[in-house]
Structure 1
Amino acid sequence: MFSFLKPRKVSKVSDNSEEAAQTASDSMSRKSWADSLSLTRSKLGKRIAEIFSTNTLVDDDLFEQLETVLLTSDVGVSATQQLIKKTRAIAKKNNLQTASEVKGALKTEMLSLLNRLSNPSQEKAGHPYVILIAGVNGAGKTTTIGKLTKQFTEAGKSVLLAAGDTFRAAAEEQIKIWGERNQVTVVSQERGDSAAVIFDAIQSAQSKNIDIVLADTAGRLPTQKHLMAELEKVKRVMSKAIDTAPNEVTLVIDANTGQNAIEQVKSFDKALGVDSIVLTKLDGTAKGGCLFGVAEYRDIPIKYVGIGEGIEDLIPFSAEDFIDAMFEE
């Protein structure tokens, strides 16, 4: 039985004289798409460019080389097959004669596939708007919550954070630090479980007319069935606090996981019904090709990507910017 009636431990913010300087420093650390995709471009974009620069004929060998590059760049088997199949069909239909023409066709198909991740999600009505944050260990969930909080508060929204990661010892302290930096309230409990903490947070937000609740959860692997079942329970309990909750389930994925990101999306989607994705650490990996596999699975919108460690280094995803940066020469 959940201890919903436990006294709530609320962490309130204090003034931080260094906040303005920190914000300025964070802003200066922001990177361009081209900088952020430099590693992925080296592994995928430049290798594609090399194929087209050394091949003049439009033949089976050209497409076999492209297939190899895509498969070894974390694009995934299914997405690779679809991209090659559609590019071949365009080349045949339009009687493309040069490798550069095929390159243009491939780029168009890659953009078309990634555009599935740019479609806005259907937001469910409700106030407060409750977002459940999930993902595996180390994906960057709590840091993402801190960065999202900054964006929401700068947009004029009031935000409350729920310290729902009750497994990791440092999780509560970490989310409180983000609360202080953003000057928002954090709801937590001593020895409480995740469902109880989040339930309390939603009720607190209702009573204070808060606009948005960001609910943190403990990291878990899709193979840990009992922990995935617990996450499903958390979602059910949230709907008891307010029947519209959660309004959105956001999955946080570390781009470094490569093709494993596809399996994470499938598993969490099956358990919770994922509404949106945040892709973190894109600037530090060559495995950005995994996005194509995610897009091929289902058109779950990627709302933000992490391109640095600064609090402002979380930017809206753009399929066009991603493709342009990847093919930049």
Structure 2
Amino acid sequence: MGFFNKLKDSLSKTRKNFVEKIDSIVTGRKVIDEELYEELEEALIQADVGIDAALELVENLRGEVKKRRIGEPEELRAVLKELIQGILGEETTSLNIDGEQPAVIMVVGVNGVGKTTTIGKLAHYYKENGKSVLLSAADTFRAAAIDQLEIWGNRVGVAVIKHSEGSDPAAVAFDSLQAARARKIDVLIVDTAGRLHTKSNLMEELKKVHRVLGREMPNAPHEVLLVLDATTGQNAISQASLFKEAVGVTGVALTKLDGTAKGGVVIAIKQGLDIPIKMIGVGEGIDDLRPFDAREFADALFERENKAVEQVG
């Protein structure tokens, strides 16, 4: 199955909760009135687009209706898709790994979001694209985190730099960067503990890892990738905000899109926090993590079921 079809399948719950609801609101309506706008606003909020983004989208929709002199409610679907595309942007946003080597990606996020799995899939993605990869087991806080990363390292065929459980994460990150340089590695991916974002001492430890990497190599980490679980909806926004404040998040990897009706959170993250979505996970397979393509996402979200046969992955 092509990636577009996987993406479309993974968004089926969101589409039912969001686009099909919009379809039911506009279908059969004779006029575009205040009640219609209110129902659309409510549908957007329920799809975890977020209150601010929902208000902005509906306000912009009003403007487009006046400007284009739209009279048919059913035309609103296409306009709404355009506006969502506008928030998400036009281009594929991939991770910045093409500058100095090694490119250092520091991966952060709370426990349970699929952080270690995302790191494994990311390592696989880069290896498949001809890059050499090294993993850094700087999550020394959680029992079995090092083992879990090693399992992924073995599966993908990349080495893991580790210390013993409970050791200083910044020291692991330092040694990993030294090893990556010595081995002329293209991409170093640094795992970190699944911080409970309310625990300030753990956040301080994250900042220390960030500082040590930057001291050893100016501009490192080149990416701070925050892993978020799409099924948590608006909770993901508060997590993103706190991590952004602590370590300057440069991009989001959004996992478990296939298991949620809350895919609208993609729009909320981009509109509310201005952090680009850089990777998305659409399934359990090792190949199911890919760079985020905004246009592809909007097309998949608004794809009508009976058109599926026309798409080639």
Same fold (TM over 0.5): yes
Report SS of the residue matched to 1:57: coil
- CA shift at 1:146, angstroms? 0.6
Unaligned regions of 5+ residues in structure 1, if any? 1-26
Distance 1:297 1:134, change over 3 A: same
Q: What corresponds to 2:309 in structure 1?
A: none
Trace 1:96-245 onto structure 2 (pairs within 5 A).
Answer: 96-115=70-89, 118-119=92-93, 125-190=99-164, 191-245=166-220
Instruction: Give distance in 1, aligned partners of 2:104 and 2:284.
Output: 25
Structure 2: which amino acid aligns with 1:230?
E
Q: What corresponds to 1:17 in structure 2?
A: none
Deviations 1:184-242 (A, max 9, x none): 11010014221111111001111111111100001113222221121111100112222
- CA shift at 1:321, angstroms? 2.0
Q: What corresponds to 2:270 in structure 1?
A: 295
Instruction: Give distance in 1, aligned partners of 2:183 and 2:247.
Output: 28
- CA shift at 1:119, angstroms? 4.6
Instruction: Give distance in 1, aligned partners of 2:39 and 2:50.
Output: 15
Q: What corresponds to 1:260 in structure 2?
A: 235
After superposition, the CA RMSD in angstroms is 2.0
Query: Which of 1, 22, 33 does residue 48 from structure 1 map onto?
Result: 22
Instruction: Give distance in 1, aligned partners of 2:116 and 2:134.
Output: 13
Contact 1:30/1:312 (<8 A) preserved: no
Deviations 1:81-131 (A, max 9, x none): 110000001111222110022222111111111227845566683221111
**TM-score normalised by structure 1 residue count:** 0.87
Instruction: Give distance in 2, aligned partners of 1:30 and 1:92.
Output: 34
Deviations 1:130-183 (A, max 9, x none): 110001111111111111111111222111100011111111111101111121
Q: What corresponds to 2:67 in structure 1?
A: 93
Contact 1:131/1:214 (<8 A) preserved: yes
Q: Which moved more, 1:128-137 or 1:318-327?
A: 318-327
Q: What corresponds to 1:285 in structure 2?
A: 260
Contact 1:149/1:159 (<8 A) preserved: yes
Contact 2:138/2:170 (<8 A) preserved: yes
Instruction: Give distance in 1, aligned partners of 2:271 and 2:61.
Output: 15
Instruction: Give distance in 1, aligned partners of 2:3 and 2:27.
Output: 35
Q: What corresponds to 1:76 in structure 2?
A: 50
Instruction: Give distance in 2, aligned partners of 1:167 and 1:43.
Output: 38
**TM-score normalised by structure 2 residue count:** 0.91
Aligned structure 1 segments of 4 or more residues deviating by more than 4 angstroms: 27-31, 116-124
* 1:306 partnered with 2:281: yes
Q: What corresponds to 2:13 in structure 1?
A: 39
Structure 2: which amino acid aligns with 1:195?
A
Unaligned regions of 5+ residues in structure 2, if any? 305-313
Contact 1:117/1:295 (<8 A) preserved: no
Instruction: Give distance in 2, aligned partners of 1:167 and 1:117.
Output: 37
